[in-house]
Copies of this chain bind each other. A is one copy, B any other.
Amino acid sequence: MDLYELTMAQAFWSAGMAELPSTFSLFTRSLPKQRGYLVAAGMDDCLSWVERLAFGPLELSALEELGVFPAQFLDWLGDLRFQGDVRAVPEGTVVFPDEPILEVDAPLAVAQMAETYLLNQATLQTTLATKVSRCRQAARGRPLAEFGFRHAQGLDAGMKVARACRLVGVGATSNLAGALEYGLEVSGTMAHSFVQAHEDEVSALRNLAQALGPRATLLADTFDTERGIAAVVQVASEMHQRGVEVAAIRLDSGDLDELSRIARHALDAAGLFAVKVIVTGGLDEYRIAKLTAGPDPAPIDSFGVGSAMVVSADAPLTDTVYKLVSCDGRPVRKTSAGKVTLPGPKQVWRVPGFAGDVLALRDEPAPSEAHRPLLELVMRAGQRTEAGRRSLGEASSHHAKEIACLPADLADLEAPAPFRLRLSPELEALVARMDSSPI
């Protein structure tokens, strides 16, 4: 929690406003560069946080020691629990700027306290799910594995990358804890150090193949890659003659398109048709898309993706905000230069095929029979509803249906088409009314 959430709570409490009913809306203001869509994620962790919100003796004494909060206010904090409502789009939903992915209805001071945590998790997980989705799309049906924990921005991000993979349909990670926690296959190959620890490359590959058998993926680029490919083929052939097929050859540097063709050719020439070609090393959606494009794509069976994906290197930040949109029954907004927000609790209505969404006030009727609402009640009076208890597996199935319907022009990796979002007549009228009256 940030200090300002508590100083504002104190000021609201002093002014007798702490318990006013309010609605805060969490949404993104714009798409990160080259993105045509976002994959909403992180809402399950958001619900877990509000469920646990409480100031225990340790927290209260730490706050007391700051010496800035009145004792009566700290008593009020000690009794506080989250008993509000939360609406959210299902995790894995494809969303666009200005569309709320989560709305909190709660007493003013309480809803405000959730800002920092909710933004942290919704931003991180949406950023990651979007990036992973783009990489998966670039692979055009070939499997991906996530190898990036080492370069994720910290432990939480490293775990949430694995979660984003499960959500988006990337089934494997190198991260043991992530695989166990979120139900992915755990995947791993070998490091250059394994080869370096031996006197020569062939002995190293042979030791690995003998220890791991059909699980062995043999790395070819510790020294000279073409010689490394020959060494892998030699060891894989020895194993083949003993009735064991090693899993794959791995290429981690150099011209991956050319090297994958050389490797595939050498494996096939030795009759090792079942041994796969895995590539890794600085991959992101742009590089993957080049390798899988055209009438004669590189003969790559799967991609291991790390650093650039796990920090979303080309767009590490998504411009999410958590804004008050209603207070004491009155719709509100801000009109700061370049940061204007739309007033009132909302609903997002969508027609099949992503032909254009309608952003409406929450209680308006559906714009047409074909429209379905995106936001659903996931927590009522502090308790999760059935919709708030969906599993990550269900979210993953939901995402698969979403992405299957996404038009190619919105999904373009470099120059996506803009998405059409229109305001409902009632929301437009409210904005016009507020524009015409001085605040």
Contacts and interface: CB of A to CB of B under 8 A. Distances in A.
A334 B120 contact: no
Interface in A291-333: 307-308, 311-313, 316-317, 320, 322-324, 327-328, 332-333
Q: How large is the interface on A (under 10, 10 to 19, 20 to 34, 35 or more residues)?
A: 35 or more
A3 B153 contact: no
A156 B121 CA distance: 11
A186 to B, nearest CB: 5
For A17, A207, A323, A334, the residue with the greatest tally of chain B CB atoms inside 10 Å of its CB is A334
A83 interface: no
B188 A3 contact: yes
Interface string A96-140: 000000000000100010011001110110010000000000000
Contact of A2 (B108, B121, B147): B147
Interface string A163-178: 0000000000011110
Copies per complex?
A: 2
Contact of A190 (B4, B311, B317): B4
A221 interface: yes
A332 B127 CA distance: 39
A152 interface: yes
Contacts of A188: 2-7
Nearest to A324: B193
A355 interface: no
A253 B157 CA distance: 29
Contacts of A207: 11, 14-15, 17
Given A196-B324, A222-B336, A3 B187 contact: yes
A360 to B, nearest CB: 21
A334 B223 contact: yes
Contacts of A317: 151, 307-308, 311, 313
A149 B176 contact: no
Contact of A7 (B215, B253, B336): B215
Contacts of A253: 336-339
A149 B174 contact: no
A324 B195 CA distance: 10
A390 B323 CA distance: 43
A212 B10 contact: yes
Contacts of A121: 154
A191 B24 CA distance: 12
A145 to B, nearest CB: 10
A154 B160 CA distance: 8
B222 A334 contact: yes
A201 B336 CA distance: 13
Contact of A150 (B119, B127, B151, B195): B119
A175 B2 CA distance: 5
A200 interface: yes
Closest 3 CB pairs of A and B: A154-B156, A4-B188, A3-B188
11 contacts: A1-B176, A3-B179, A7-B188, A7-B215, A112-B191, A116-B175, A156-B157, A222-B335, A254-B337, A313-B316, A313-B317
Given A4-B189, A12-B194, A153-B157, 17 more contacts: A2-B175, A3-B175, A3-B179, A3-B187, A8-B191, A11-B190, A14-B207, A20-B197, A116-B150, A116-B175, A119-B151, A154-B157, A155-B156, A192-B334, A193-B324, A196-B334, A197-B324
